[in-house]
């Protein structure tokens, strides 16, 4: 009986020890999993915030470039007014003007200005003289806003001394219109204005970031444009101002907001803001599941934690992927935008050996302005989208395709001929001919009677340059020669190209003759 009594406590002790070991092991595993899960969540927070911050910054830079491009286009349209000699030689303040001749001259100028005014949805497109006399379209709203100081205060907008022009918004706290003023001569100013709401097409809000707010402000941080209604003319909110004030280019991320700012134009600022909770909302909901599984799944919680960490990242991955696409892809054509094309090409060239073969092709669409003028900008956008499809069908996936301007495209040939009998230049020639033929077969309009074509310029690595700027300059000269050969052709750059005069294609360098078709 004594032995029995001695054995029972020993059995109980062994059982207690086993339970204690299992419980202790379970506690250690749970603590370890919880600790690892907390570290994983914090690390995921940091990585995702940094990635989203980078993508928001890239998107904001793209919007800045879009805005600068829009202003540049408005300035270009303004220069078209000088196509009529009378626009820059006539002076309505000259007391020696013959009344009859003055009326005729002003009619010629007005006809020219009104014909240009219909190119865009302008509020004003006219000339204001020192005596406040106007020619062309100067709206009653502008005359009322500036009053007797019409010429005097408009002349204050001319802030750039080299080009004698300038931009302004917010005169007398009126932020509805944006004004561009260019000095014609000491007694005359060309005035263009449009409503700030026209900038909606410039500042495209990504659909996957419904909580993103986009602003354009002046140098005093008063809102000129906002993606939210009712904020135009108001000072920028304090919570944004305290994060980006006095910074020309920066991205700030904290537990409340991701805010990016870039200066542009004449001390204007493009600002993007996204609440952090929107970016990480689904991730925060998933944290609870991670901790619950860590507490109750023990050893399995380690594996489940890894799976859930992946699931945790998936919702934000979609946002990051969408931002990355917005930052790198031209949304209209589906190919690389200008910044990404230059970056990818420059990086590829920097890692290329001199024995490798590459080619840079610059493409300028002939007669595209006629498409917009004749068939409208909406149809012009469809033509650009079709051009993107044509380029993708012509070149292999290894090649970089980019839209580098309104109707300007580029191809960096990274692929090689599949047939041994074809040399590299012959391969590039075949691709150029295929592309030109594709354009020749492209007709626009419902009745198929409006034809577009393409002019191409080609430069080769390493013969014509080893960096992107060098190849671009040589291909640009070859393109310029193609345009002056009658368009609808391609040209290989050659040192024997004759010098060319500067043209409306904005060439300031001389071009040289090619091997052209």
Contact 411/401 with Cβ under 8 angstroms? yes
In sequence order, the 6+-apart residues with CB closer than 8 A to the CB of 208 are 318, 319, 322, 323
Ramachandran sector of residue 206 (left: φ over 0; alpha: ψ -120 to 50; beta: rest): beta
H or E element: which one contains 215? strand 213-217
Sheet holding 223-226, edge to edge: 223-226, 213-217, 268-275, 257-264, 249-253
Per-residue tokens: 445: 């309009």
Q: Is 514 helix (H, G, I), strand (E, B) or coil?
A: coil
13-51 exposure pattern, b = at least 16 Cβ within 10 A, e = fewer: eeeeeeeeeeeeeeeebbeebbebbeebbeebbeebbeb
What is the fold, at CATH topology level, of the domain defined by 338-516? Alpha-Beta Plaits (3.30.70)
Residue with tokens 């944004």: 240
Contact 407/384 with Cβ under 8 angstroms? yes
Q: Where are the domains of the chain?
A: 84-197, 338-516
* Helices 368-375/377-394 angle, 10° precision: 140
What CA–CA distance (Å, rounded) separates 363 from 480?
A: 10
The pTM is what? 0.49
**CATH code that applies to domain 84-197:** 3.30.450
pLDDT string in tens for the chain (517-residue length): 444 444 444 445 545 655 665 667 666 766 776 777 777 667 666 766 677 777 788 888 888 888 888 888 888 888 888 877 888 889 999 999 898 999 999 999 888 888 888 777 789 999 999 999 999 999 999 999 999 999 999 999 999 889 999 999 989 888 989 999 999 999 999 999 999 888 888 887 665 566 788 999 988 899 989 888 788 889 999 989 999 888 888 888 888 888 999 988 667 899 988 888 776 665 666 666 666 676 666 567 545 544 444 454 455 444 444 555 557 899 999 999 999 999 999 999 999 998 999 999 999 999 898 888 888 889 999 999 999 999 999 999 999 999 999 999 999 999 888 886 789 999 999 999 999 999 988 877 766 777 889 999 999 999 999 999 999 999 999 999 999 988 999 999 998 876 655 434 444 333 333 333 3
Per-residue tokens: 107: 């009619």
């Amino acid at each position: 009986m004594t032995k029995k009594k001695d054995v029972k406590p020993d059995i109980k002790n062994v059982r207690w020890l086993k339970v204690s070991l299992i419980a202790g092991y379970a506690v250690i595993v749970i603590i370890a999993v919880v600790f690892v899960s907390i570290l994983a969540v914090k690390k995921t927070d940091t990585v995702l915030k940094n990635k989203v911050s980078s993508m928001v910054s890239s998107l904001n830079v793209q919007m800045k470039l879009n805005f600068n491009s829009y202003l540049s286009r408005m300035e270009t349209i303004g220069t078209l007014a000088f196509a009529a000699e009378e626009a820059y030689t006539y002076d309505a303040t000259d007391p020696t003007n013959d009344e009859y001749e003055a009326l005729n001259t002003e009619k010629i100028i007005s006809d020219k200005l009104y014909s240009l005014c219909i190119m865009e949805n302008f509020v004003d497109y006219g000339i204001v003289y020192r005596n406040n006399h106007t020619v062309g379209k100067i709206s009653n709203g502008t005359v009322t806003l500036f009053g007797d100081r019409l010429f005097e205060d408009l002349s204050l907008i001319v802030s750039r001394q080299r080009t004698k022009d300038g931009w302004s918004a917010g005169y007398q706290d009126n932020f509805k219109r944006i004004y561009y003023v260019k000095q014609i001569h000491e007694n005359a100013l060309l005035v263009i204005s449009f409503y700030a709401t026209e900038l909606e097409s410039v500042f495209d809000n990504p659909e996957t970031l419904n909580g993103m707010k986009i602003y354009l402000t002046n140098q005093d941080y008063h809102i000129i444009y906002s993606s939210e209604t009712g904020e135009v003319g108001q000072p920028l909110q304090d919570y944004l101002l305290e994060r980006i004030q006095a910074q020309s280019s920066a991205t700030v991320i904290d537990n409340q907001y991701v805010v990016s700012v870039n200066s542009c134009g004449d001390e204007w600022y493009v600002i993007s803001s996204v609440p952090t909770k929107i970016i990480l909302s689904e991730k925060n909901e998933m944290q609870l599941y991670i901790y619950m599984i860590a507490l109750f799944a023990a050893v399995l919680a380690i594996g489940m934690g890894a799976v859930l960490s992946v699931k945790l990242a998936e919702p934000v991955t979609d946002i990051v992927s969408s931002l990355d696409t917005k930052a790198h892809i031209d949304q209209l054509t589906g190919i690389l935008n200008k910044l990404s094309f230059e970056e990818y090409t420059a990086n590829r060239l920097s890692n290329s050996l001199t024995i490798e073969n590459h080619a840079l092709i610059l493409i300028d669409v002939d007669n595209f302005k006629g498409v917009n003028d004749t068939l409208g900008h909406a149809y012009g956008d469809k033509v650009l989208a079709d051009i993107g499809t044509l380029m993708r069908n012509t070149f292999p996936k290894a090649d970089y395709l980019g839209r580098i301007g309104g109707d300007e495209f580029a191809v960096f040939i990274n692929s090689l001929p599949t047939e041994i009998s074809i040399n590299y230049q012959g391969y590039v020639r075949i691709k150029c001919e295929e592309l030109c033929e594709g354009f020749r077969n492209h007709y626009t309009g419902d009745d198929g009677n409006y034809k577009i074509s393409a002019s191409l310029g080609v430069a080769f690595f390493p013969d014509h340059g080893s960096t992107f700027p060098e190849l671009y300059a040589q291909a640009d000269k070859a393109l310029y020669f193609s345009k002056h050969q009658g368009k609808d052709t391609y040209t290989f750059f050659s040192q024997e190209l004759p010098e060319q005069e500067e043209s409306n294609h904005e060439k300031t360098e001389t071009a040289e003759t090619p091997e052209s078709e």
